[in-house]
Amino acid sequence: MDNKPQAPNTKVKSRSRNGCSLCKQKRLKCDETRPECLMCAKNGRKCPGYTQSFKWSTKHEKTLSGKARGPSNLKDLVTATSKTIQSPPQQPQAPVVLEDEQSTTASDSSPASQFEAAAACQQDVQQDTQQGDFQNSLSPLLDTLIMPEYDYGIEDLLQDIWQDVPQPIPANKDANQFLDQSVCLFNSPGPGDPFSQLTWPGTPSTNPQQPVSFQIPRAINDRSSLLVEEWFRNVCPMWSSFDSDANLNRKLAFDTWTRSETVMNCLQSMSATCLSSQMPAMRRVAVSYLQSATTALQKELKLIREQPVKKFPTETLLALCCIGTAACWIDTAELGTKFLREAKTVLKRLNQSKDLSAQDRQILSFFNNSIIYWNMLVAVVSDERDDLGIPKLKEPQRKDMAQKIVPHPWTGVSATAQRLFTQAVRLCRRFRWNLRQGSIATMQNLEIAMKDIREAQKVEEELLGLEHYQPHEISETGDRMSPVSDFINVAEGYRLASLVQLYQTFPDLVSRRLPEDAVGSHVPWDNWIVPLTLRLVNTLKTVPVTSGTRCIQPLLYLSASTGLRFDTETLLQQRRFAQAAAVTPDITLASLGEPQVTRLSIEVTYARRFVMERLSALEHSLPPAPVLVAKDLVTAVWAGYDNDTPGSNNTHWIDVMEDSDLRTIFG
């Protein structure tokens, strides 16, 4: 047996995990000298130090339920926000891994590539939705991703705001010129009318089995994503009288924005316009996106001519509604009549079609209602009269109602009242125009005037016999800010507003009601029109200022303001005081006698204050530009009333609006 010397007992060397990262990488023993190790100093290398780095590991993580995969970038989150905007976020169920390399590459991607990526992302999300687990996986992602990262997004957006704006605006052009260019394609349908045949562009088919392989860079700082998300988060609720799953404005936008460049640009333009009140630089972005939307719409119309495919034109109708009603947010002089005319043309052909599916007919009914409201807004400020065969909607008989009425985002439950308001205001505009021409004395014009009066009587009788739905007949919208009672009161508001317009324009209608008080063409405002207007004001007071229906109320406040005249006694007293003060500035109150105050004048004073307070509130909760025009118009109308010769009632609000050019879309 060999007796080998035994090695002395030695301690087992422990491996330290605290060495510098460079020594670890080269598998060298690090002496951990600070501030830099001797090994790096000896070899002439810069020691990286001892800061430890960490990385996420998904080895032991539990997957989300089923096969649901939440969105991994902001493009997905925009779509997700549309789905969950009404529901509070849930607690996260699993950690979320952010891949920095994917979110920071290719930061200057083109708008076209961003649009294609968004479309592919929408397809991916829709696949998850079909599996039924999308909603469960969505809330934790929104909770953990959006809130920490989104706060700096808008400020960061302004730093590169001019980098990839589609179709930049030349310096010598203004917004009005661009709006004129945007609508020029609608001026002359002619033989090349894209709607000469009822054919529509199809959506490219996608294979649900094919995996989606794409990446969206710079997700958090991408302007398009931010603006689209802003639309679903804030603009859509402001653009509709309620916001929930029952809001088809939201649903149709959600279904189409990733496959329609036109809709996508419309949403971005509307969001940028709303932000521009606090961020003026966004106004130019809004105009640019509006121009891009009309250009994209022109491409869609070209596809209709060249590659006809039978498909319901949801994207086209939605884009027309967006552009036509929101262009005035940028330029208040843009009334959108050309867009309305095109929308009517589309709807006329669709209403005549016999080949629509049940789902298409439901969407068609929705847009028919949308046009009723839009048509009313335009009728107030324009002589656009052609309804192009749009059917008169028949309200269901109460005895035949199997289901409750679902309110519409624009007409609510007042489609009939709004249609009658349109007829009333058109008659008023036409009658005032003929009267101002001074040609009523001719036989032909007298016959036209008599025809208008008889038509006004028919509209009045229909308004007086109009019955609104009862609360139990109306379905709840799911939006607590828009209860059923608000829709009923708004419907009543439009009925009363229509009567106010007719009575102040056609004295004969009041003479029929108060024959003993009528003297010639004098309308007894104190006994009929002002009390009716005060009833309208009291109806509007029942609707809270925070109601979701506020977006369809501006026209009601304008109508109420037109019926608030002071009584003759008050006007005479004001005239006497003003004349005396002009002649003798230091005249005393005692020398003029004790002023008389009437109950009616007090009520008119408070009603005027209420109207102006509500308009001021709408200025801060709706796009402000059209509301500011409404406030200026109301002020001008009241000034005209107060300067009228007492008892003459010569000032008419339509004349004031036309003379001062204070016209816009009041809604």
Q: 346: closest CA among 477, 218, 459, 200?
A: 200
Is the distance from CB of 623 to CB of 546 less than 8 angstroms? no
Q: Cβ contacts of residue 617 below 8 Å, gap of 6+?
A: 545, 550
The two structure tokens encoding residue 107: 């930061």
Please enumerate in sequence order all residues whose Cβ is within 8 A of that of 46, keeping only pairs 6 or more positions apart, or say none: 36, 40
Q: How far is CA 197 from CA 192, 298, 306, 309, 624, in A?
A: 11, 16, 11, 11, 40
pLDDT recorded at residue 452? 93
| 464-478 residues labelled b (16+ CB within 10 A) or e (exposed) | eebebbeeebbebbe
Mean per-residue pLDDT for 121-146? Answer: 38
**How many of the other CB atoms lie within 10 Å of CB of 131?**
13
pLDDT at 379: 95
Query: What secondary structure does DSSP assign to 28-63, as a single string?
Result: ------SSS-HHHHHTTPPP--S--------TTPPP
Among 96, 102, 91, 101, CA closest to 61: 96
Q: pLDDT at residue 423 above 50?
A: yes
Q: What is the pLDDT of residues 11-58, one digit of tens each?
A: 444 455 678 877 877 777 888 887 788 888 888 888 887 766 555 455
The C-alpha atoms of residue 401 and residue 413 are separated, in whole angstroms, by 14
Q: To which H or E segment does residue 218 belong?
A: none
- Please report how many Cα atoms fall inside a 13 Å half-sphere around the Cα of residue 562, on the Cβ side: 27
| Phi, psi for residue 159 in degrees, rounded to 5 | -65, -30
Instruction: Quote the pLDDT of residue 97.
Output: 34
Q: What is the structure's pLDDT at 388?
A: 60
Owner of token pair 């599996």: 131
Per-residue confidence band for 165, with pLDDT thresholds at 50, 70 and 90: very low
Lowest-confidence pick of 260-269, 553-562, 643-652: 643-652
Q: Measuring CA to CA, which residue among 227, 104, 243, 105 is closest to residue 166?
A: 227
Mean pLDDT (whole number) for 125-135:
41
What pLDDT is stored for residue 465 in this prediction? 95
State the pLDDT at residue 362. 93
List the structure tokens of 449.
């005037």
Helix runs in 85-133, H state only: 100-104, 111-130
User: How far is it, in rounded angstroms, from Cα 552 to Cα 485?
Assistant: 15
What integer is the mean pLDDT of 225-232? 92
Per the prediction, the chain carries an average pLDDT of 75
Tell me the sheet residues that pair with 519.
522
Bridge partners (DSSP) listed for residue 408: 412
Q: How confident is the model at residue 254 (pLDDT cuts 50, 70, 90)?
A: very high
Q: Mark residue 61 as left, alpha or beta (left: phi above 0; alpha: psi -120 to 50; beta: remaining).
A: beta
The mean pLDDT of 100-126, rounded to a whole number, is 44
Q: For every residue of 258-314, which 3-state class applies, written as one string?
A: CCCHHHHHHHHHHHHHHHCCCCCHHHHHHHHHHHHHHHHHHHHHHHHHHCCECCCCH
Percentage of residues of the chain with pLDDT beyond 70: 64
418 burial (CB, 10 Å; 0-12 / 13-18 / 19+) is: buried
User: For 229-238, 436-445, 648-657, which range has the lowest pLDDT when averaged over its residues?
Assistant: 436-445
563 φ/ψ angles, rounded to the nearest 5 degrees: -105, 10
The two structure tokens encoding residue 102: 């994917």
- Banded pLDDT at 574 (limits 50, 70, 90): confident
For 217, phi then psi, to 5°, come to -75, 160
Distance CA 367, CA 321 (A): 9
- Reading phi first (left if > 0) and then psi (alpha if -120 to 50, else beta), residue 457 is in alpha
- Distance in angstroms (rounded) separating the CA atoms of residues 449 and 506: 10
Cα dihedral: 467, 469, 472, 478 (round 10)? -160
pLDDT at 156: 37
Give me the pLDDT at residue 316, please. Answer: 92
pLDDT of residue 608: 98
Question: Residue 102 has what pLDDT?
Answer: 36
Cβ atoms of residues 599 and 646 within 8 Å = no
Residue 389: the pLDDT is 57
Peptide bond into 471 cis (omega under 30): no
> Residue 70's pLDDT is what?
39
Task: Quote the pLDDT of residue 1.
Answer: 47
Q: CA 53 to CA 25: how far, in whole Å?
A: 13
Rg (CA), the chain: 33
pLDDT score of 268: 96
Residue closest to 534 by CA, chosen among 564, 510, 509: 564
206 or 337, greater pLDDT = 337
The tens digit of pLDDT for each residue in 395-406 reads 655 555 668 899
What are 602-631's pLDDT values in tens digits? 999 999 999 999 999 999 999 999 999 999
The two tokens of residue 516 are 């003993």
pLDDT at 656: 97
Q: How far is the C-alpha of 224 from the C-alpha of 268, rounded, in Å? A: 7
Please tell me the predicted confidence (pLDDT) of residue 52. 63
Rounded Cα–Cα distance for residues 148 and 153 (Å): 10
For residue 456, give both structure tokens: 């006004």
pTM over cut 0.85 = no
Phi, psi of 115 (to 5 degrees): -65, -40
pLDDT tens, residue by residue, 511-563:
888 877 655 556 678 889 999 999 999 999 999 999 999 999 999 999 999 99
Whether residue 604 contacts residue 564, with contact meaning beta carbons closer than 8 Å, is answered with yes
Q: In this predicted model, which residue has the larger pLDDT, 253 or 439? A: 253
CA angle 514, 516, 519 (to 5 degrees): 90
- Collapsed DSSP state (helix, strand, coil) of residue 352: helix
**In Å, how far are 23, 24, 54 from 46, measured between CA atoms?**
11, 14, 22
What does the pLDDT average to over 134-141? 34
pLDDT value at position 548? Answer: 96
Task: For residue 216, give the nearest of 350, 138, 289, 119 by alpha carbon.
Answer: 119
**Rounded mean pLDDT of 557-571?**
93
Closest CA to 38 of 388, 29, 615, 543: 29
State the Cα–Cα distance between residues 367 and 356, nearest whole angstrom: 14
CA dihedral sign of residues 525, 531, 532, 538? positive
Mean pLDDT confidence for 228-254? 95
